[in-house]
Structure 1
Amino acid sequence: MDPRTSNRTTAERDVESVLHPYTNLIRHRETGPMVITRGQGVRVFDEQGRDYIEGLAGLWCTSLGWGEERLVEAAAAQMRKLPFYHLFSHKSHDPAVELCDRLLAMAPAPMSKVFLAGSGSEANDTAIKLIHYRANALGQPAKKKIIARDKAYHGVTIATASLTGLPNNQRSFDVPIPGTLKAGCPHHYRFGRPDESEADFATRMAEDLEALILAEGPDTVAAFFAEPVMGAGGVIVPPATYFPKIQAVLDRHDILLVADEVICGFGRTGKMFGTETFAIRPDMMTLAKGLSSGYAPISALMVNERVFGPVAEESGRIGVFGHGYTYGGHPVSAAVAVETLKIYAERDILAQVATVGPALQRGLEAFRDHPLVGEKRGVGLIGALELVDDKASRRPFDATRGVGPAVVARAQANGVILRAMGDTIAFSPPLVISEDEIAEMLRRFGRALDEAHGALIRESI
């Protein structure tokens, strides 16, 4: 260690050297970070030894919790055998092939090939490039527009941030880029009309999508991106009939459906994939996060033959498929992902979610009568509470008051780490959480919510 920094704390050095994502960089100079030093099970611990229940599984990803020795050993064994190799220029290795084999066998719809990358953003960015490549292969150079939805999250590259429907991912970054379109958000609580049923709302969403496609010209629209449950946009669970109605519109106009399973995949919604939970028939699926339980960076894009066939033909014409990442299919990450999938199967992770998921949903439902809570929503082991200024009218708080972030800060002080998306508080704990741990997490959160309510009454939040 540099002798100039040896007597300074990690937090002090952090402020001087680290550029943090999703952080107010000016405020960070004043507050510094909370430094996490270790994790075990569903808990992480800070420098002072305080424990926190990780109510968001890190960033929606650590599905098997912390301290899973099988994943540590899988990484170490692969490090010793083949610490790095790539998949470029007709090269391969065992972990990548085994992982792709397993993913194709698990796919909820027929898939042809798997492309490996390092993050969900990279997987979605690759999907966008393949959509363009395929259109050129088919002699459809105009059919390249891509529709995503308001409040969607698909990543932070220039292209994927253009599909993301959250203002702070676009402000001052000069996105969206041309060729990206926005459809409505399927959140009945916020966007349904008075006395409009969820089924009628879903019908209107599908009709609005078709109107958008017709206005743009179906011969110019290539694909529709959708998360089964919209994660970073607020854990928005669509109405039951939404996706079948959307799928019918896409089928009529020969438009690909890309299912972003980065958060929903691998048991989070109660099925192995969110596409199964909501009866979606994707042409492409993007996977990450739970693919390795967050223990190693890895993502995957699965494509069906409708996509792969033209792409392969175009690469033959050009002479190469000129796309790839140095660390795509990294053997250590792939080995960890393979072991993760084995654990899911051996421990029947879906049965685990079926057992404890209802406890989370019931626990969140119990907050519905709290003065600050407007809506509870969720499925499986993902859920959210939306905070409102007035329950009867559903009037939101003025964003400048920062109520959601204040509640999350109080929750952290009470020993539970959650995430605020505006005034929506998200819950997505490790899939291995027990009912007792869910109860403790919600007790800690309940104290924080009551404290915030008291502060609001005193107007000191």
Structure 2
Amino acid sequence: MLMRQHLIRALKRMPFCLELNCRVAACRLLGQMDLNEDAELTPLLVTCSGRAFLKSSSTASVYESTYPVTLHLCCVMTSLLGKLDASSLVKYVTSTATLQGQAECLSDASIRHFSSAPSAQSDSTEENGFKGHGMLAPFTAGWQSNDLHPLIIERSEGSYVYDINGNKYLDSLAGLWCTALGGSEPRLVKAATDQLNKLPFYHSFWNRTTRPSLDLAQEILSMFTAREMGKVFFTNSGSEANDSQIPWVYIDISELNWIAAFIAEPVMGAGGVIPPPKTYFDKVQAVVKKYDILFIADEVITAFGRLGTMFGSDYYNIKPDLVSLAKIRGLGMIMGTEFTNNKSPTDLFPAEWGVGAIFGQECQKRGMLVRVAGDAIMMSPTLIMTPGEVDELVSIYGEALKATEARVAELKSKRN
């Protein structure tokens, strides 16, 4: 009893992580854990890229750390709490849902994730011999690369990509929102080939550079008119651009409690293509200006004509101190959809249903790739997409939507 009290106290005070790639049961666990038994600490298991965290209902904060706990220690701890018989183990616990909610809609033999959502209950990708590959990929849980066959894209042609099994997909994402001219565009291939033949690589250290780098830097400075900018720093991706911004703004920080900078996307991308309230950035800029805080505009997905102006900063009248640029898209064609119950923006489906993941799978089955983020679906087609390809996109979208509606109706009937 004393050990149990010490453990509860430790969980409340210290960051803590349980590595649940070690076969902790969701449904069978329910039969051995009374979630209402302990008013001090009601455990809520939540996964993030294969991890699980204990959440205290009293503090509403998630205890997490970078230190995974081994299966042995996990079982010892939970046994001390009197909550879990260590012999009752299956493989996955789904994300952001209580164990009770999981048991209501999923069987203990079919708890799986797809694009970090739990409802994809089987591997939708054909066998290709690469299950358990050695590559570490973004937005991919560790168990996915071990237990599922990856979708391996082999070649591209216009707005389409093809996997190694010969399956054809309409790429509604334009790569990762960046291949505006589609795949294998002859002019791009020629330009790249010519440069590779002339000078494949040279660095930019010690005030050394190349003519294409200088020309591109000057062109970008000329294009950005929301505020006069002085220099361009090249990286390999939007993520690296943002990562590079952080140490720069900290260089000039004098005190630990001083806010170095405010960073924001003009339109939130990965969250579901969400525009801000009309006066949001006016009010934010008034605050940062008053307190001499730097403003970083993350224009990775809003630059180069996507909002009808050359940059999102132009559209929202933002005067940033630093700007991150990356993907070339254009013409305001970024599209986002969020699935909700009864068409209400506040009546969300249970997270454990993974409605967005279901839709993503249904699209892939029919030959189209989309981006899934929770129950939000995002598309950003190529600029070269033909009217016929647009019709194909809409047709597949409609078919996948009907299939998703049928699955949601099935989940609702199980809950009722």
Query: What TM-score results when the alignment is normalised by the length of structure 1?
Result: 0.59
Q: Deviations over 1:239-290 (max 9, x none)?
A: 2222222222222222211111111122222222111222211111111222
Match among 82, 103, 117 for residue 235 of structure 2: 117
1:417 aligns with 2:405: no
In structure 2, the partner of 1:298 is: none
Mapped pair 1:130 → 2:248: yes
Kept after mapping to 2: 8 A contact 1:10/1:35: no
The 3 A distance-change label for structure 1 pair 92 and 28 is closer
Change in 2 beyond 3 A, CA 1:225/1:393: closer
2:290 partner amino acid: R
Partner residue, 1:141: 254
Contact 2:264 2:296 in 1 (8 A): yes
Partner residue of 1:205? Answer: none
After TM superposition, the structure 1 = structure 2 runs for residues 20-419 of structure 1, keeping only pairs within 5 Å, are: 20-108=137-225, 109-133=227-251, 135=252, 140-142=253-255, 220-290=258-328, 353=331, 380-392=332-344, 394-419=346-371
Larger radius of gyration between Structure 1 and Structure 2: 2
Residue identity in the other structure for 1:386: E
Q: CA deviation at 1:401?
A: 1.2
Structure 1 CA distance for aligned equivalents of residues 406 and 345 of structure 2: 21
CA distance in 2, matches of 1:27, 1:13: 12
C-alpha contact 1:404 1:422 (8 A) present in aligned 2: yes
Gap regions ≥5 residues in structure 2:
1-125
Evaluate the alpha carbon distance shift between residue 392 and residue 260 of structure 1 in structure 2; reply closer, same or farther with a 3 A threshold. Answer: closer
SS in 1 for 2:260: strand
How far apart are the structure 1 equivalents of 2:406 and 2:127? 34
Q: Which residue of 2 aligns with 1:458?
A: 410
Structure 2 Cα separation of the partners of residues 441 and 427 of structure 1: 10
Q: CA distance change for structure 1 residues 407 and 51 in 2, over 3 Å: closer, same or farther?
A: same
Q: What percentage of aligned pairs have identical amino acids? A: 41
Structure 1 residues 38 and 10, CA, compared in 2 at 3 Å: closer, same or farther? farther
How big is the alpha-carbon RMSD for the aligned residues of Structure 1 and Structure 2?
2.2
Contact 2:158 2:182 in 1 (8 A): yes
Relative to structure 1, the CA distance from residue 14 to residue 111 in structure 2 (aligned partners, 3 Å threshold; closer, same or farther) is: farther
Q: SS at the partner of 2:234? A: strand
Distance 1:275 1:116 in 2: 20
1:19 corresponds to which letter in structure 2?
L
**Secondary structure of 2:216's partner?**
helix
Unaligned stretches of 5+ in structure 1? 1-8, 145-215, 294-349, 354-379
Q: Deviation at 1:221?
A: 1.5
Contact 2:272 2:376 in 1 (8 A): yes
Per mean C-alpha deviation after superposition, the further-off stretch among 13-22 and 231-240 is: 13-22
Question: 3-state SS of the aligned residue for 2:377?
Answer: strand
Per-residue CA shift, 1:366-408, capped at 9, x if unaligned?
A: xxxxxxxxxxxxxx21121111134347311111111111111
Q: Do the aligned partners of 2:127 and 2:149 also contact (CA within 8 Å) in 1?
A: no
Distance 1:402 1:76 in 2: 44
Q: Secondary structure at the match of 1:115?
A: coil
Contact in 1 for aligned 2:366/2:396 (Cα 8 Å)? yes
SS at match of 1:26: helix
Which deviates more, 28-37 or 81-90?
A: 28-37
**Distance in 2 (alpha carbons) for counterparts of 1:14 and 1:65:** 28
SS at the partner of 2:129? helix
**For residue 18 of structure 1, what is the aligned residue in structure 2?**
135
Shift of 1:13: 3.6
Question: Aligned AA for 1:80?
Answer: N
Distance in 1 between residues matched to 2:322 and 2:346, nearest whole Å:
37
Q: Residues 85-142 of structure 1, C-alpha deviation per residue, up to 9 Å, x if partnerless?
A: 1111121111111111111111122100111112222211221111122x1xxxx512
CA distance in 1, matches of 2:382, 2:259: 38
Aligned-partner residue type, residue 425 of structure 1: I
- Secondary structure of the equivalent of 1:258? strand
CA distance in 2, matches of 1:453, 1:24: 27
CA contact (8 A) 1:41 1:66 kept: yes
Output the CA distance in 2 between the equivalents of 1:22 and 1:59. Answer: 12
Contact 2:130 2:150 (8 Å CA) reproduced: no
Structure 2 Cα separation of the partners of residues 10 and 268 of structure 1: 38
Using the TM superposition, name which of 104-113 and 434-443 deviates more: 434-443
- Aligned-residue offset at 1:68: 1.4
Give the 3 Å change call, closer, same or farther, for CA 242–413 of structure 1 in structure 2: same
In structure 2, distance between residues paired with 1:125 and 1:29: 29
In structure 1, what is the Cα distance between the partners aligned to 2:388 and 2:297? Answer: 33
CA spacing shift, 1:13–1:387, aligned 2, 3 Å? closer
- The amino acid that maps onto 2:221 is L
- After TM superposition, give the deviation of residue 432 of structure 1 in Å: 2.9
1:393 to 1:120, Cα distance in 2 relative to 1, 3 A = closer
Q: How many residue pairs are counted as aligned between the two chains?
A: 287
The aligned amino acid for 2:347 is R
